[in-house]
């Protein structure tokens, strides 16, 4: 005698929806969790988006012009005309440069020697000294690069005015995807991945632990729901919240920070679902293991914030890290989602480029859900 399998499937679907509805009711009764779910991602994006930047402009400059000629003044004007340098101090002697750098009043000191214009008129190379505060290595590197570019452009102009029709070599460069070299265009898309990794795990890390602390696990254990139905039922409401958070943060990135969005929104959201499934499942795994909300929150913060912030390529390039850290970064899912967000935002690439990241995030989703189902026990 054959039996239809549609009835058990309908029953399982009913139990799953009932679990999801129960979790939604708990969220509605806890406005703090809802505020955390929707306001914290926006707050983090706004704060980090404005606070983290690698753009260096309006460089405070001190000029010691010991030559005092028309050529030395033309060089100083070339620096100010570049738009990056602002002459704020003119120290009388070289001894006054050190205190200016010590007090962070200037970032660059330009010293033009007395023989500058005379050397330009001969075959000897004219020298200019640039003194940079190296306490911030990244800023110092950028300032030196800007200064060298200004001096090189000034030197080429002097050569052309001296009788040469054209400079010996002209480099024509073109920047793709981030034409203005704005650091926010690189930071904000990756920041979406980092924020969602943190928020997703922290949201679901409280679900099972909340049941134990409120004493409702006994009622849940008495129901006929399976482990998979409990995990998926608790996950579905947070998946919807995470979906809205991704849309919200992406919209803020485009509207507030003017980050270009050149790819497919559908592709981004589809891959975001894979990433969220893994992150939410990992949060439920932490909740099932710890059984206390405080410990679950602390553990989820440690295991998601630090790896996502440091080893995802968001703040530091993975290629320059030591080899052990590069291998360790392969275990950080935010690394792959940040590649997706930057690729979709800035490059407009499709699944033919991002299929490796899609497969890895799919594996992360299977692992996260598998760990959650294995760790959850209905037994008291």
- Please write the tens of the pLDDT for every residue from 337-348: 999 999 999 999
Q: Is 129 helix (H, G, I), strand (E, B) or coil?
A: strand
What pTM was computed for the model?
Answer: 0.79
CATH of the structural domain 59-161, one choice from 1.10.8.60, 3.40.1710.10, 3.50.50.60, 3.30.2320.80:
3.40.1710.10
Pairing status of strand 59-65 against strand 108-112: parallel
Rg (CA), the chain: 29
Residues 119-154: tens digit of each pLDDT: 777 766 788 899 998 887 778 888 888 898 888 888
| Domain range list for the chain | 15-52+182-375, 59-161
Beta strand 108-112 with 129-132 is antiparallel
The rounded Cα 36 to chain-centroid distance in angstroms is 20
Residue 96 per-residue DSSP state: G
pLDDT digits (tens, 9 = 90+) for 291-328: 788 888 888 888 888 889 889 988 888 888 899 999 99
∠ CA 25-300-19, rounded to 5°: 25
């Amino acid at each position: 005698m054959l039996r239809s399998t549609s009835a058990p499937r309908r029953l399982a679907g009913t139990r799953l929806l009932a679990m999801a509805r129960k979790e939604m009711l708990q969220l509605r009764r806890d406005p703090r969790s809802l505020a955390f779910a929707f306001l914290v991602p926006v707050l983090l994006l706004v704060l980090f988006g404005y606070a983290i930047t690698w753009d260096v402009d309006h460089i405070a400059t001190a000029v010691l012009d010991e030559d005092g000629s028309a050529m030395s003044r033309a060089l100083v004007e070339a620096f100010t005309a570049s738009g990056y340098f602002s002459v704020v101090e003119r120290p009388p002697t070289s001894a006054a440069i050190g205190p200016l750098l010590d007090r962070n009043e200037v970032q660059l000191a330009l010293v033009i020697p007395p023989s500058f214009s005379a050397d330009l008129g001969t075959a000897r190379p004219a020298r200019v000294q640039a003194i940079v505060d190296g306490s911030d290595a990244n800023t110092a590197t950028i300032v030196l690069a800007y200064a060298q570019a200004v001096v090189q452009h000034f030197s080429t102009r002097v050569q052309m005015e001296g009788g040469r029709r054209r400079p010996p070599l002209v480099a024509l460069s073109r920047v793709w995807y981030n034409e203005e070299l704005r650091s926010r265009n690189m930071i904000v898309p990756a920041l979406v991945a980092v924020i969602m990794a943190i928020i997703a795990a922290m949201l679901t890390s409280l679900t099972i632990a909340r049941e134990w602390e409120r004493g409702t696990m006994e009622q849940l254990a008495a129901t006929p729901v399976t482990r998979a139905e409990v995990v998926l039922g608790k996950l579905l409401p947070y998946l919807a919240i995470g979906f809205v958070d991704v849309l919200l943060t992406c919209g803020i990135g485009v509207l507030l920070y003017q980050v270009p969005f050149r790819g497919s929104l559908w592709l981004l959201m589809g891959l975001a679902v894979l990433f969220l499934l893994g992150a939410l499942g990992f949060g439920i795994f932490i909740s099932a293991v710890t059984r206390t909300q405080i410990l679950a929150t602390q553990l989820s913060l440690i295991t998601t914030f630090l790896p996502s912030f440091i080893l995802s390529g968001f703040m530091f390039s993975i290629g320059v890290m030591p080899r052990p850290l590069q291998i360790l970064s392969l275990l950080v899912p935010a690394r792959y989602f940040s590649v997706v967000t930057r690729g979709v935002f800035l490059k407009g690439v499709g699944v033919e480029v991002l299929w490796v990241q899609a497969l890895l995030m799919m594996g992360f989703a299977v692992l996260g859900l598998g760990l959650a189902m294995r760790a959850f026990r209905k037994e008291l």
